[in-house]
Structure formats: structure tokens, C-alpha cells
Amino acid sequence: HLGYGMATGPSMAAPQVAGGAVLLRQIHPDWSQRDIQSALMTTAKFRHVYNPDGSPAQPLDMGAGRLDLSRSADPGVLVWPPRLSFGFVPSGTMASLTVTVRSVADTPQTYALGWLDTRGGFPGHPTLPGFSVSPESLALGVGDTAVVTITFSSTQTSLGDQQGYLLLTSDSHEAHLPAWARVLSPAQANPPADVLLIDNDGSTRYGKIDYVNIYTQTLSNLGLSYTLLDADTALANGASDTLDEIELAAYPAVVYFSGDNNALDSFPIADRYRLNEFAAHGGTLLVTGQDARRTLFGIGAVHWLGGGVRDFVYWFTLAAPYQATSLTDNQLLPTLVITPSGRVPFTHTVELGTAGDGAGNQRSVDVLQAYAQPDAATLWHGPLTTQGVGTVHRQQPSLERAGVTWHGRVVYFSFGLEGVNNDTGHMSREALLWQVWRWGTDSPTAVLQTTPVTSQTVQFTAVVSNSATDIAQYRWDMGDGTPIFTTTTAVVSHAYGSCRPAGYTARVEVQNEWGNTAVAGQSGLVTCVVEPTPTPTFTPSPTPSATPSPTPSATPSPTPTATPTGTPPPPVVYRVLLPAVVR
């Protein structure tokens, strides 16, 4: 991925990691998921691993390294978290992290803590500029736990990615943690503009029409500041790529447009993966263009297993389920016939005029499969009646999954914004782009307030802030096993059947009209103290004296011979775990 990137699917490392985790769970059934993750990461092979260009692989290339199960079952220590990710650090500042180290060795161990920088080659340098650790030595008995503090000072490094490894070394064990920080200048830490506008319309390289003025005027009309990156000209002048990941990270939003450019793979792969990184960090990305599928190399089959060539940025980040190359069969003004049936009320206003101030260039708008059924009255007139021309990609927290694993806010239009008419009285270029901006920058938050009504009845109020639009619905989970229910009001009451010592945890999921959600909760509701059952007191009675009786002599009887009946006991089965190595 030419640095930081994302990949998904069983063809990656998932089967090996899952298999390794299962083996460790069999060997150590008392280990938690975190323990297993730590053992796999801290014992992975990270020395003498190389990138395709021959350079030493770094944490941004391979994470902790390649699994080495010959060491994972006896890691010496379990560490959480097993990686040191400082994220973005403004130049001139410091940041600190703490990790917990627990000994799982059979004997007491003394660990030396130090750094390793392999960027210049192997075996590496024993210092890592900007990174420090305290303490520098740990004496751990069997089962002992210690806390270690790691500090990163950006004043001691250059701008950009700083990475290496923290080593914990004893006489019999070694563990390592990948470390990473990205240093930004003060200007980069603060947005230089609202939008980075990327021009890749082929006007310089391929003699296509230049549409940049339409985009700059639309942004200006909305009051959004922008920085123009003329990627088309830069690439025509011989540049191999156009985006700097450090500068890119400072922008809240990126707008990429392809105009009439239909040249295959005409936006560099390095730049595509930097856009992928930008989205994964939570940036808002709009890609618009009738042939962006070709410029971003999104050719291939409909799904991952269908064969063909696919670009990860197009298929995953843009979430673009491509279906066909042209919605209109390369025609600008196809005949549209409307025959009223008289049976179903038709309340939509349809613009049938042939005039407009758009670019008039939308001949090859790609067809995308819609994940949700669109409004029937807005479907294209023709055989492709379940398709669309845009996708949105954003994970949302919910009652079922309170967190998100991917932070991007991505919109993809398979048409160019330049083709939208501004003079029809309906959706304009400004209105469309403003909705994308509002949706992408909208991050609602919620707080759940509670008011006792009776000893077992509670009133709940969901308070929402930072929402760019009205709230559409509230989903409630009272935490007592009753079904989740939905309301359009922010206040509900609930009667619990009984109190309990730990109380209940109630949660609410708030969704606004953009579809963006927030989840909030409140614990310790309707608690009660359970009185312990008193222990009865017994007064012992005197034991009477007993007169011993003579013991009669016993005549032994012969032991009878037993005839076995029924089902014999099952055989004893021994399970032997054989060592396995994945390298």
C-alpha cells in the first residue's frame, strides 16, 4: 500500500491470524483475546523483512511483523496495548502513552527496555529519535505486572512519519512493540482551507474541456475556502504523484473530479492510496465524474470473487458497486415517455426541459447498484430500474455496535457536478455540494439524562448536540431484556420490574435526518441493597454417655462373581497438540 493503507478479505492475513489465535487458545485456555493478540504481535518476525523495492519493512508497511507461532506460545510477557500509535503530533509538542506489562514466564525475569530503528537497514540502530521510555528496566516475578510510560517529543524529529520498535529483552525472552507518530507543522495541524480541490479532468494531458471554473465558483458561492491541486498539469509535466500525505491530512474535505477524462489509470496509484488513508482517518471525500471509475482504475467484475482487476480505493473506500458503463447508452437526451395510469397519485415535479446551464457532457454516467430501494418516481426510465448513480460510505454507531472501525465519510457520484443544471429551480450545484459538505462534517453527539419517577420507574431524556439537521428517530434499549423500541420523541419513561444490586444500563441511539447516529447510555439505574440472610445461632446440647455394647463376631461371606451387563465405559481419548509454525 506504499505506506499506510487498508485491505480486507480472506486473501489477506486473516486466515493465518485466526488459525494462530485458535492454537494459542488451545494451549492457553485462560488467556483473553487481548492476551492472544499481544502474544501474536510481540513475537512476530520483524527483522529482515523487506518491501518490494528492497527497503526494510517498517510498522506502516507490516504492523508488528509476520506471525511466528514457534515463539507466540511462550512470549514471556503480555502487553496491552501491543502497539504504540501516537497518531498526529503537532511540531513542537509532546505526547505520552502507557502500556501494562504482565509476566507469563515460568521464572522471574529482568527486562531491558530500549529502541530499535531499522529504517537504515538491519540489524538496525539502538536509538529512535524522539521516543523515550520509563523505566528502562523491569524486574518481574512470576505473574507480576508493571506500567511503562512511553513519550514522544516532536521537537527532536523532522516532519512526517517517525517509526520503529520498542524492545523488551531478558536473558530468555524478547518482545517488541511497533511505534509510530506523524509530525505535522503548525500550518498542517490547522486546516489551510476547507477543501482540497483535485483537478484531474484531462484538460492538459489529453486536450479535454477544462471544468475547473465550475467547481471553484461553486465552492466560492458556498463560502467554502479551497486549495486547488492541478493534478492534471503536474502529471503532464512528468510528476509521478501529486499528493503529500502530511499536507493532505490537514484538510477537512477533499473534492476530486474527472470531467471528461476517461483515460484508464490516469490518477497515480500512490495518490489513490493517500486518498484511502485520508478517508480512513475520518476525512470527508467526494469523488465526482462520469468516468472516475476508469481514472481511478476501478475496472473489473461486480464483486471481489468475480475475477478481473479491481482497485481497493474504488471498490472499498468509494463503495462503488459498478454495474454498467453508461446509464443512457452514451446518449445525452434520450426520449422520455410518461403515460399516466390514473391509478396512482403522482406528486413529483419532473423537469422535462432541454435547456440548462450545465456542461452538457454526461454521456457515460456509470450505473451503480443501489443498496437501498430508491424512490420509484426517480428511477431511470428503462431496463435498469433498480440502479443508482451515487453511493455513500460511512460507518455509524448503533445499539448493536456502539463503536466504528472505519472513520471515513465518502460520497461518490458517477456523474460530474459540472453536469448539474443551476437554472431549473430544482437541485443546483451549490445545493448538492452543500448537502455533501453538511453530511460529511456532521458529527452528532448524545447524552442520556435520567429522572427518577418512582422507585422503579425512570424518565429518560436524550440530549443531542453538534447535529447539522433535525433528529429523525430514537432507538431505546432499557437494559432489562425488554425489546428495543423506536420513537420520534426525545423523552420516554420505563418501569423496571424489580431492582437489583448492580442496577440497569439503559442506552439510546439517536439518528438525524442525514442518517448520522450517536449512542449514549446511563448505568446504575434502579439499584437496591440486598440484605444478607442472618446466620442462625445454635446452642449445643450435652451429649449423653453411651454404654458400649459387645461387638458380634462376623463370619466373612464369599465374594460373588459379577457378570457384566449394560454398556462398557467409553475408551479414554488423549488429545495431543502438535507445535505449528506460520512464517
Q: Tell me which of 144 and 541 has the higher pLDDT.
A: 144
pLDDT band (50, 70, 90) for residue 565: very low
User: Given a cut of 70, is residue 414 above it in pLDDT?
Assistant: yes
Give the contacts of 428 (CB within 8 A, at least 6 positions apart).
420, 421, 422
Answer yes or no: do 152 and 238 share one domain: no
Same domain for 427 and 459, yes or no, is: no
Q: The domain containing residue 167 runs over which residues?
A: 14-185
Q: Is residue 297 part of a domain?
A: yes
* pLDDT confidence tier of residue 246, bands split at 50, 70 and 90: confident
* Residue 553, in any domain of the structure: no
Over residues 102-120, the pLDDT tens digits come to: 999 999 999 999 999 999 9
Helix, strand, or coil (residue 5)? coil
The pLDDT assigned to 419 comes to 87
Are residues 449 and 436 located together in one domain of the fold? no
Highest mean pLDDT among 202-206, 471-475, 546-550, 569-573: 471-475
Is the confidence at residue 234, as pLDDT, over 70?
yes
Which of 130, 161, 185 corresponds to the end of one domain? Answer: 185
- Please tell me whether residues 219 and 122 are part of one structural domain: no
> Contact, 329 vs 301, CB < 8 A?
no
Q: How many domains does the chain have?
A: 3
Indicate which CATH number applies to the domain containing 51.
2.60.40.10
What's the pLDDT at 406? Answer: 83
Report the length, in residues, of the chain: 583
Over residues 245-271, mean pLDDT: 90
Domain match, 381 and 484 both: no
Contacts of 131 (CB under 8 A, 6+ apart): 115, 150, 151, 152, 162, 164, 166, 179, 181
pLDDT band at residue 325 under the 50/70/90 scheme: low
Lowest model confidence (mean pLDDT) among 294-298, 338-342, 565-569, 572-576: 572-576
Least confident of 231-235, 270-274, 489-493: 270-274
Q: Which of helix, strand or coil describes residue 224?
A: coil
Exposed / middle / buried, residue 39 (Cβ in 10 Å: 0-12, 13-18, 19+): buried
What is the tens place of the pLDDT at every residue in 55-90?
999 998 889 999 999 999 999 999 999 999 998 898
Rounded distance between C-alpha atoms, residue 496 and residue 478, angstroms? 9
Between 384 and 50, residue with greater pLDDT? 50
In-domain check, residue 344: no
Domain edge (last residue) among 441, 467, 483: 441
Identify which of 8-17, 193-202, 232-241 has the greatest average pLDDT. Answer: 193-202
What is the residue-averaged pLDDT of the chain?
Answer: 82
Using CA atoms, how far apart are residues 180 and 89, in angstroms rounded to an integer?
A: 10
What was the pLDDT predicted at 577? 33
Q: Is the pLDDT reported for residue 265 higher than 90?
A: no
pLDDT digits (tens, 9 = 90+) for 432-466: 999 999 999 999 999 999 999 999 999 999 999 98
Choosing from 476, 510, 525, the residue where a domain stops is 525
The per-residue pLDDT for 435 is: 92
- Report the range of poorest mean pLDDT among 110-124, 271-285, 299-313, 524-538: 299-313
Helices (H) and strands (E) in the chain, counts: 12, 25
Residues of the chain above pLDDT 90, percent:
54
Instruction: Give pLDDT, residue 280.
Output: 87
Q: Is 473 exposed, middle or buried (0-12, 13-18, 19+ CB in 10 A)?
A: middle
Specify the pLDDT at position 180.
Answer: 96
Give the model's confidence band at 313: pLDDT under 50 very low, under 70 low, under 90 confident, else very high. Answer: confident
Average pLDDT over residues 519-523: 95
What does the pLDDT read at residue 315?
A: 75
